[in-house]
């Protein structure tokens, strides 16, 4: 008996030792001693340039016939007038009239170009929410240190800040060694068919290969993440895939006074319920592992033990992450029923009932795999499962150890010295995925500090940007371009 206790004791000591060694072996991934960026005076005109762009409602609608293209013409004229040097000295191409690609030729053609991108279309102001806006969404008002309006965070601020940056660099006679490409889409909020998809296809056809792509994406999350007091700059190294499935049951219809045991509505409801009760399994290997690697050395000792010993604590971590909507979406393919349609009259049994379910695929899952699992879970041959559109697989995971990531990391530290930098899985979709044919390093990051409440204003109401934050965006892009010359 005593020897058994002794063995158990020895094993426990061994386990604790392993946990401690793993914990103590975590080394910070943060770049240390990055010199602060040289101070650049950003003139007041910069925020007013963005304000002018906000006042042009370049709203994109899924039904393209609703799009007011005169606003897009206005926008193109506006940037030509506002940024004259760019339009004198850079090569500009348009794609489907409004997709924009600028090329600033570098001196050293042996270096691959860098592609910085954004989109200047915005989502409409949702019917019924107009009155909730404290300032008019297309007023472009600068007040109390903020600029208000649709597009101040998504994503006109990127487009105008990049143009402001290049105009500044041209004015100060900067000459890039590395070619700089700027790509601005006009329909990111819908299909990106006219913009990013066309631009990316053209570049691929020309055989262009770029060092890295940087698009909108993660922000500097000022609310931090659990266990970490500092703001975290989240750089998207991948984005989830997208798939919508339509589940349809065909019943017999008839009078509601003599219903069958299960109606078409009942069948589809049961299928949806099964899907909700059988979520996709949680996994820490879909890109979130890289986030945890970066966070582990920065969090409290207790949390570090768990993050550094995922071989033992994976299910505990998964359980913890599942508690929040964003945490949950970072570790699994999500299932979201979004449309339910059936019936027209209270005393008539509908013939068909349909539910649309939207899935966001974690890297590692595929469109085919998800469809197969859905059919398995529903387990009812009477329900048709049809794919809406094409769906797309998750994007490849870019390497956070790549030189490109390090350049972005270094630039963040030079402009925002107190933040923790970390790679993460982007839950939403961006245009950057279309450029996978010309780049293996694709990152998604908007250099702007936001708390959770401010993030809610994106696609919502009262979108606004702090003037100071906008100025720092420009400082960031200036520094990034300068840091990317080797
Ligand atoms: Zn956007």
pLDDT for the residue numbered 174 = 96
Report the alpha-carbon distance of residue 384 to residue 137 in Å, rounded: 43
3-state secondary structure of 340: strand
CA dihedral 370, 375, 378, 382 (to 10 degrees): 150
| Other Cβ atoms closer than 10 A to 485 | 17
Residues 6+ apart with CB under 8 A from 338: 244, 356, 357, 358
Provide the pLDDT confidence category of residue 353 given band limits of 50, 70 and 90.
very high
How far, in Å, CA of 360 to CA of 354, rounded? 20
How many A from CA of 188 to the centre of ligand 1? Answer: 7
Whole-model pTM: value is: 0.93
Residues 270-297: pLDDT tens digits?
999 999 999 999 999 999 999 999 999 9
> pLDDT band at residue 130, thresholds of 50, 70 and 90?
confident
Asked whether the predicted pLDDT for residue 416 surpasses 90, the reply is yes
Mean per-residue pLDDT, 423-445: 96
Higher pLDDT, 245 or 224: 245
pLDDT confidence of residue 157: 97
| Mean pLDDT within 335-343 | 95
Question: If you measure from the C-alpha of residue 76 to the centroid of ligand 1, how many angstroms do you get, rounded to a whole number?
Answer: 19
Question: Which architecture does CATH list for 241-391?
Answer: 2-Layer Sandwich (3.30)
Q: What is the pLDDT of residue 224?
A: 73
> Residue 191 has what pLDDT?
83
- Residue 351, classified by CB atoms within 10 Å of its CB into exposed (0-12), middle (13-18) or buried (19+), is middle
As annotated, the residues of the chain forming the CATH 3.30.70.360 domain(s) are 241-391
Helix (H, G, I), strand (E, B) or coil at 484: coil
The alpha carbon of 217 and the centre of ligand 1 are apart by a number of angstroms equal to: 8
Q: What is the pLDDT of residue 71?
A: 98
72 Cα to the center of ligand 1, angstroms: 17
- Per the residue annotation, which of 121, 154, 318, 431 is the catalytic one? 121
pLDDT given at position 452: 87
CA of 358 to the centre of ligand 1 (A): 19
How far are the Cα atoms of 272, 309, 321, 341 from residue 222, in angstroms, in the given order? 37, 27, 19, 41
CA of residue 477 to ligand 1 center, whole Å = 18
Confidence of residue 251 (pLDDT cuts 50, 70, 90): confident
**Average pLDDT of span 110-121:** 97
Ligand 1 centre distance from Cα of residue 176 (Å): 28
Residue 475 is predicted with a pLDDT of 97
* Residue 452 falls in the annotated catalytic set: no
Q: Are 171 and 102 in contact (CB under 8 A)?
A: no
CA of 230 relative to ligand 1 center, distance in Å: 26
Mean pLDDT of 233-243: 97
Residue 329 has pLDDT above 80, yes or no: yes
Q: Whats the size of the chain, residue-wise?
A: 486
Question: Helices 310-321 and 301-308, interaxial angle, to 10°?
Answer: 110
Residue 107 has pLDDT above 80, yes or no: yes
- Distance (angstroms) between ligand 1 centre and the Cα of 297 equals 32
| Predicted pLDDT of residue 376 | 97
Instruction: Assess whether pLDDT exceeds 80 at residue 227.
Output: no
Catalytic residue among 154, 155, 188, 298: 188
d(CA 147, CA 72): 21
CATH assignment, 45-239+395-483: 3.40.630.10
Q: What is the pLDDT of residues 28-67, one digit of tens each?
A: 999 999 999 988 999 999 999 999 999 999 999 988 899 9
Q: Is 188 a catalytic residue?
A: yes
DSSP of 193-249, one letter per residue?
TTTHHHHHHHHHHTT---SEEEEEEEEEETT--TT--S-EEEEEEEE-EEEEEEEEE
State phi, psi for 180 to the nearest 5 degrees.
-110, 130
pLDDT band at 2 (very low <50, low <70, confident <90, very high): confident
Residue ranges matching CATH 3.40.630.10 in the chain? 45-239+395-483
* Mean of pLDDT over the chain: 95
pLDDT at 1 over 80: no
Tokens of 83: 């940024």
* E strand map for 62-119: 91-95, 99-104, 114-119
Question: Residue 305 and residue 197: Cα distance in Å, rounded?
Answer: 44
Q: How far is the CA of 460 from the centre of ligand 1 (A)?
A: 13
């Amino acid at each position: 008996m005593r020897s058994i206790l002794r063995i158990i004791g020895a094993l426990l000591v061994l386990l604790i030792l392993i946990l401690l060694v793993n914990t103590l072996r975590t080394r910070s991934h943060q770049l240390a001693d990055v010199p602060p960026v040289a101070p650049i005076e950003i003139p007041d005109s910069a925020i007013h340039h963005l304000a002018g762009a906000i006042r042009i409602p370049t709203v994109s609608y899924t039904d393209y016939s609703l799009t007011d293209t005169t606003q897009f013409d206005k926008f193109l004229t506006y940037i030509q007038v506002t940024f004259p040097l760019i339009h004198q000295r850079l090569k500009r191409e348009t794609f489907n009239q409004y997709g924009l690609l600028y090329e600033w030729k570098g001196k050293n053609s042996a270096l691959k170009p860098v592609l910085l991108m954004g989109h200047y279309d915005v989502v409409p102001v949702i019917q019924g929410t107009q009155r909730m806006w404290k300032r008019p969404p297309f007023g472009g008002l600068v007040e109390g240190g903020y600029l208000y309006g649709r597009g101040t965070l998504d994503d006109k601020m990127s487009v105008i800040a990049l143009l402001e940056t290049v105009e500044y660099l041209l004015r100060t006679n900067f000459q890039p060694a590395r070619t700089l490409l700027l790509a601005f889409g006009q329909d990111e909020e819908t299909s990106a068919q006219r913009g990013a998809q066309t631009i990316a296809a053209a570049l691929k056809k020309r055989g262009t290969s770029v060092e890295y792509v940087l698009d909108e994406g993660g922000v500097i999350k000022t609310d931090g993440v659990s266990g970490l007091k500092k703001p975290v700059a989240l750089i998207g190294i991948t984005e989830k895939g997208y798939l919508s499935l339509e589940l349809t049951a065909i019943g017999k219809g008839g009078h509601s006074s003599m219903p069958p045991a299960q109606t078409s509505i009942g069948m589809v409801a049961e299928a949806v319920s099964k899907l909700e009760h059988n979520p996709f399994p949680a996994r820490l290997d879909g890109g979130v592992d890289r986030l945890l690697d970066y966070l582990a050395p920065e969090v409290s000792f207790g949390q570090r033990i768990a993050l550094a010993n995922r071989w033992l604590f994976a299910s505990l971590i998964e359980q913890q992450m599942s508690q929040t909507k964003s945490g949950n979406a970072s570790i699994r393919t999500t299932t979201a029923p979004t449309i339910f349609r059936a019936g027209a009259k209270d005393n008539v049994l509908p013939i068909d009932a349909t539910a649309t379910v939207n899935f966001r695929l974690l890297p590692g899952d595929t469109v085919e795999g998800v469809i197969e699992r859905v059919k398995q879970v529903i387990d009812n041959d009477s329900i048709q499962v049809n794919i809406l559109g094409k769906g797309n697989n998750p994007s490849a995971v870019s390497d956070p150890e790549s030189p490109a990531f390090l350049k972005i990391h270094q630039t963040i530290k030079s402009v925002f010295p107190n933040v923790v930098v970390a790679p993460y899985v982007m839950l939403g979709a961006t245009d950057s995925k279309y450029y996978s044919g010309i780049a293996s390093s694709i990152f998604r990051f908007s250099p702007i500090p936001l708390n959770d409440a401010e993030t809610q204003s994106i696609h919502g109401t009262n979108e606004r940007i702090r003037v100071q934050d906008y100025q720092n965006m420009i400082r960031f892009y200036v520094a990034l371009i300068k840091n990317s010359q080797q």
